[in-house]
Amino acid sequence: MVLLSAVSFAVGLSVTLTVALVYAIPMLLAILFAFGASILSGALVFGVLYGVPGFLATSRRKRMDLELPYVASHMSILAATGMPPARMFKLLEDSPTTPQVASEANEIVRDVEILGSDIITALEAERERSPSGVFAEILEGLVATIRSGGNMKGYLLDMTRAMMDLRRVASKQLVESLATFAEIYVTLLVVFPLLIIVMFSVMALIGGGLGGFSVTTMMMLVTYGIIPLCASVVIVMLDSMLVED
Protein backbone atom coordinates (compact mmCIF):
# COMPACT_ATOMS: atom_id res chain seq x y z
CA MET A 1 0.00 0.00 0.00
CA VAL A 2 2.79 2.42 0.92
CA LEU A 3 4.79 1.58 -2.22
CA LEU A 4 1.89 2.00 -4.64
CA SER A 5 0.77 5.19 -2.88
CA ALA A 6 4.29 6.61 -3.21
CA VAL A 7 4.40 5.64 -6.88
CA SER A 8 1.02 7.28 -7.43
CA PHE A 9 2.24 10.42 -5.67
CA ALA A 10 5.38 10.58 -7.82
CA VAL A 11 3.52 9.92 -11.07
CA GLY A 12 0.84 12.48 -10.23
CA LEU A 13 3.45 15.08 -9.36
CA SER A 14 5.48 14.56 -12.53
CA VAL A 15 2.45 14.44 -14.84
CA THR A 16 0.88 17.55 -13.29
CA LEU A 17 4.14 19.53 -13.48
CA THR A 18 4.62 18.46 -17.12
CA VAL A 19 1.12 19.59 -18.06
CA ALA A 20 1.65 22.88 -16.20
CA LEU A 21 4.89 23.55 -18.08
CA VAL A 22 3.28 22.72 -21.43
CA TYR A 23 0.48 25.22 -20.84
CA ALA A 24 2.85 27.85 -19.38
CA ILE A 25 1.12 28.03 -16.00
CA PRO A 26 2.97 30.21 -13.43
CA MET A 27 5.52 28.12 -11.55
CA LEU A 28 4.27 28.77 -8.01
CA LEU A 29 0.70 27.97 -8.98
CA ALA A 30 1.85 24.88 -10.90
CA ILE A 31 3.84 23.57 -7.90
CA LEU A 32 0.93 24.10 -5.51
CA PHE A 33 -1.53 22.43 -7.89
CA ALA A 34 0.89 19.54 -8.57
CA PHE A 35 1.41 18.85 -4.87
CA GLY A 36 -2.31 18.99 -4.19
CA ALA A 37 -3.13 16.64 -7.09
CA SER A 38 -0.35 14.20 -6.19
CA ILE A 39 -1.34 14.09 -2.51
CA LEU A 40 -4.93 13.46 -3.54
CA SER A 41 -3.82 10.70 -5.93
CA GLY A 42 -1.65 8.99 -3.33
CA ALA A 43 -4.37 9.22 -0.68
CA LEU A 44 -6.93 7.79 -3.10
CA VAL A 45 -4.71 4.82 -3.97
CA PHE A 46 -3.95 4.19 -0.29
CA GLY A 47 -7.64 4.39 0.63
CA VAL A 48 -8.66 1.96 -2.11
CA LEU A 49 -5.95 -0.56 -1.21
CA TYR A 50 -6.80 -0.25 2.49
CA GLY A 51 -10.54 -0.63 1.98
CA VAL A 52 -10.67 -3.46 -0.57
CA PRO A 53 -9.69 -6.30 1.86
CA GLY A 54 -12.35 -5.16 4.33
CA PHE A 55 -14.92 -4.98 1.55
CA LEU A 56 -14.05 -8.50 0.36
CA ALA A 57 -14.19 -9.84 3.93
CA THR A 58 -17.61 -8.26 4.46
CA SER A 59 -18.85 -9.77 1.21
CA ARG A 60 -17.59 -13.21 2.26
CA ARG A 61 -19.18 -12.83 5.70
CA LYS A 62 -22.60 -12.05 4.22
CA ARG A 63 -22.49 -15.06 1.93
CA MET A 64 -21.24 -17.34 4.71
CA ASP A 65 -24.04 -16.23 7.02
CA LEU A 66 -26.54 -17.20 4.32
CA GLU A 67 -25.02 -20.67 4.03
CA LEU A 68 -24.57 -21.41 7.74
CA PRO A 69 -28.13 -22.58 8.62
CA TYR A 70 -27.92 -25.26 5.94
CA VAL A 71 -24.34 -26.15 6.87
CA ALA A 72 -25.25 -26.56 10.55
CA SER A 73 -28.20 -28.77 9.57
CA HIS A 74 -25.91 -30.87 7.36
CA MET A 75 -23.34 -31.17 10.16
CA SER A 76 -25.99 -32.21 12.69
CA ILE A 77 -27.06 -35.05 10.36
CA LEU A 78 -23.44 -36.15 9.98
CA ALA A 79 -22.91 -35.95 13.75
CA ALA A 80 -25.99 -38.14 14.29
CA THR A 81 -24.22 -40.92 12.38
CA GLY A 82 -21.26 -40.73 14.76
CA MET A 83 -18.91 -39.18 12.22
CA PRO A 84 -15.83 -37.46 13.76
CA PRO A 85 -15.43 -33.67 13.25
CA ALA A 86 -12.41 -33.98 10.96
CA ARG A 87 -14.38 -36.23 8.60
CA MET A 88 -17.37 -33.83 8.68
CA PHE A 89 -15.25 -30.92 7.49
CA LYS A 90 -13.68 -33.20 4.87
CA LEU A 91 -17.16 -33.72 3.41
CA LEU A 92 -18.05 -30.02 3.73
CA GLU A 93 -15.06 -28.93 1.65
CA ASP A 94 -16.47 -30.84 -1.33
CA SER A 95 -19.94 -29.23 -1.11
CA PRO A 96 -20.73 -27.18 -4.26
CA THR A 97 -23.87 -25.63 -2.73
CA THR A 98 -22.02 -23.83 0.09
CA PRO A 99 -18.80 -22.56 -1.52
CA GLN A 100 -17.87 -20.01 1.16
CA VAL A 101 -18.08 -22.47 4.05
CA ALA A 102 -16.41 -25.08 1.84
CA SER A 103 -13.35 -22.83 1.53
CA GLU A 104 -13.22 -22.48 5.33
CA ALA A 105 -13.59 -26.24 5.74
CA ASN A 106 -10.77 -26.73 3.24
CA GLU A 107 -8.44 -24.72 5.47
CA ILE A 108 -9.39 -26.84 8.50
CA VAL A 109 -8.71 -30.02 6.54
CA ARG A 110 -5.41 -28.56 5.32
CA ASP A 111 -4.30 -27.84 8.89
CA VAL A 112 -5.14 -31.38 9.99
CA GLU A 113 -3.97 -33.46 7.02
CA ILE A 114 -1.03 -31.41 5.71
CA LEU A 115 0.23 -29.31 8.62
CA GLY A 116 -0.31 -32.07 11.19
CA SER A 117 -2.50 -30.09 13.62
CA ASP A 118 -5.08 -31.78 15.82
CA ILE A 119 -8.72 -30.97 15.14
CA ILE A 120 -9.06 -28.64 18.16
CA THR A 121 -6.05 -26.55 17.12
CA ALA A 122 -7.31 -26.41 13.54
CA LEU A 123 -10.78 -25.28 14.66
CA GLU A 124 -9.34 -22.60 16.94
CA ALA A 125 -7.08 -21.29 14.15
CA GLU A 126 -9.99 -21.13 11.72
CA ARG A 127 -12.11 -19.37 14.34
CA GLU A 128 -9.49 -16.61 14.45
CA ARG A 129 -9.31 -16.36 10.64
CA SER A 130 -12.99 -16.51 9.76
CA PRO A 131 -14.68 -13.25 8.70
CA SER A 132 -18.04 -14.54 9.99
CA GLY A 133 -18.70 -14.11 13.70
CA VAL A 134 -21.49 -16.70 13.54
CA PHE A 135 -19.20 -19.33 12.03
CA ALA A 136 -16.55 -18.50 14.62
CA GLU A 137 -19.16 -19.02 17.33
CA ILE A 138 -20.07 -22.43 15.88
CA LEU A 139 -16.41 -23.46 15.83
CA GLU A 140 -15.94 -22.25 19.40
CA GLY A 141 -18.92 -24.34 20.50
CA LEU A 142 -17.55 -27.37 18.66
CA VAL A 143 -14.21 -27.00 20.44
CA ALA A 144 -15.95 -26.79 23.82
CA THR A 145 -18.14 -29.81 22.98
CA ILE A 146 -15.16 -31.91 21.87
CA ARG A 147 -13.13 -31.02 24.96
CA SER A 148 -15.99 -31.74 27.35
CA GLY A 149 -17.15 -34.87 25.52
CA GLY A 150 -20.62 -33.40 25.08
CA ASN A 151 -23.41 -34.27 22.68
CA MET A 152 -22.27 -32.84 19.33
CA LYS A 153 -25.53 -33.73 17.60
CA GLY A 154 -27.60 -31.87 20.19
CA TYR A 155 -25.32 -28.84 20.03
CA LEU A 156 -25.50 -28.64 16.23
CA LEU A 157 -29.30 -29.08 16.25
CA ASP A 158 -29.62 -26.23 18.75
CA MET A 159 -27.38 -24.03 16.57
CA THR A 160 -29.44 -24.92 13.50
CA ARG A 161 -32.69 -23.88 15.19
CA ALA A 162 -31.12 -20.65 16.47
CA MET A 163 -29.76 -19.71 13.04
CA MET A 164 -33.05 -20.51 11.33
CA ASP A 165 -34.79 -18.18 13.77
CA LEU A 166 -32.21 -15.48 13.09
CA ARG A 167 -32.67 -16.01 9.34
CA ARG A 168 -36.43 -15.50 9.65
CA VAL A 169 -35.90 -12.29 11.65
CA ALA A 170 -33.33 -11.03 9.13
CA SER A 171 -35.71 -11.76 6.23
CA LYS A 172 -38.47 -9.79 7.95
CA GLN A 173 -36.13 -6.87 8.56
CA LEU A 174 -35.02 -6.99 4.92
CA VAL A 175 -38.60 -6.73 3.70
CA GLU A 176 -39.19 -3.72 5.94
CA SER A 177 -35.96 -2.11 4.74
CA LEU A 178 -36.94 -2.67 1.11
CA ALA A 179 -40.30 -0.98 1.75
CA THR A 180 -38.50 2.07 3.13
CA PHE A 181 -36.05 1.92 0.25
CA ALA A 182 -38.92 1.91 -2.26
CA GLU A 183 -40.24 5.13 -0.74
CA ILE A 184 -36.79 6.71 -1.02
CA TYR A 185 -36.57 5.58 -4.65
CA VAL A 186 -39.94 7.09 -5.55
CA THR A 187 -39.06 10.36 -3.82
CA LEU A 188 -35.55 10.64 -5.22
CA LEU A 189 -36.00 9.44 -8.80
CA VAL A 190 -39.68 10.10 -9.58
CA VAL A 191 -41.06 13.00 -7.56
CA PHE A 192 -37.89 15.09 -7.30
CA PRO A 193 -37.10 15.15 -11.08
CA LEU A 194 -40.73 15.98 -11.89
CA LEU A 195 -40.75 18.90 -9.46
CA ILE A 196 -37.44 20.19 -10.82
CA ILE A 197 -38.59 19.96 -14.44
CA VAL A 198 -41.88 21.72 -13.64
CA MET A 199 -40.01 24.46 -11.79
CA PHE A 200 -37.58 24.96 -14.67
CA SER A 201 -40.47 25.03 -17.16
CA VAL A 202 -42.14 27.83 -15.19
CA MET A 203 -38.82 29.68 -15.03
CA ALA A 204 -38.46 29.35 -18.81
CA LEU A 205 -41.93 30.88 -19.30
CA ILE A 206 -41.18 33.93 -17.12
CA GLY A 207 -37.59 34.23 -18.34
CA GLY A 208 -34.31 34.29 -16.46
CA GLY A 209 -31.91 31.71 -15.13
CA LEU A 210 -30.19 30.58 -11.95
CA GLY A 211 -26.62 31.40 -10.95
CA GLY A 212 -25.76 32.57 -14.47
CA PHE A 213 -26.95 29.33 -16.08
CA SER A 214 -29.81 29.22 -18.52
CA VAL A 215 -32.89 27.08 -17.88
CA THR A 216 -31.96 24.75 -20.75
CA THR A 217 -28.49 24.18 -19.30
CA MET A 218 -29.89 23.42 -15.86
CA MET A 219 -32.44 20.97 -17.29
CA MET A 220 -29.66 19.18 -19.16
CA LEU A 221 -27.59 19.09 -15.97
CA VAL A 222 -30.47 17.51 -14.06
CA THR A 223 -31.32 15.06 -16.86
CA TYR A 224 -27.80 13.90 -17.73
CA GLY A 225 -26.00 14.53 -14.44
CA ILE A 226 -28.05 14.56 -11.25
CA ILE A 227 -30.60 11.87 -12.15
CA PRO A 228 -27.98 9.29 -13.33
CA LEU A 229 -25.89 10.07 -10.23
CA CYS A 230 -28.88 9.49 -7.94
CA ALA A 231 -29.71 6.28 -9.81
CA SER A 232 -26.13 5.06 -9.32
CA VAL A 233 -26.35 5.80 -5.59
CA VAL A 234 -29.62 3.86 -5.41
CA ILE A 235 -28.07 0.87 -7.21
CA VAL A 236 -25.07 0.84 -4.86
CA MET A 237 -27.33 1.05 -1.80
CA LEU A 238 -29.56 -1.74 -3.07
CA ASP A 239 -26.57 -3.92 -3.91
CA SER A 240 -25.22 -3.44 -0.38
CA MET A 241 -28.57 -4.51 1.10
CA LEU A 242 -29.06 -7.65 -1.01
CA VAL A 243 -26.76 -10.66 -1.13
CA GLU A 244 -26.96 -13.36 -3.79
CA ASP A 245 -28.20 -16.58 -2.25
End-to-end Cα spacing for the chain: 33
For 65, other C-beta atoms within 10 Å of its C-beta total 20
* Below-70 pLDDT ranges, the chain: 207-213, 242-245
Specify the pLDDT at position 46.
Answer: 92
Specify the pLDDT at position 3.
Answer: 92
Asked whether 150 and 144 are in contact (CB, 8 A), the reply is: yes
Specify the pLDDT at position 73.
Answer: 87
Residue range 115-166, pLDDT digits in tens:
988 999 999 999 998 888 888 988 998 899 888 888 888 888 888 888 888 8
The partner residues of 213 in beta bridges, in order of sequence, read 210
**209 φ, ψ to 5°?**
-145, -160
Nearest to 186 by CA among 237, 229, 231: 231
Four-point Cα dihedral 28, 33, 38, 39, nearest 10: 100
**Sequence-ordered list of residues with C-beta below 8 angstroms from that of 182, at least 6 positions apart, any chain:** none
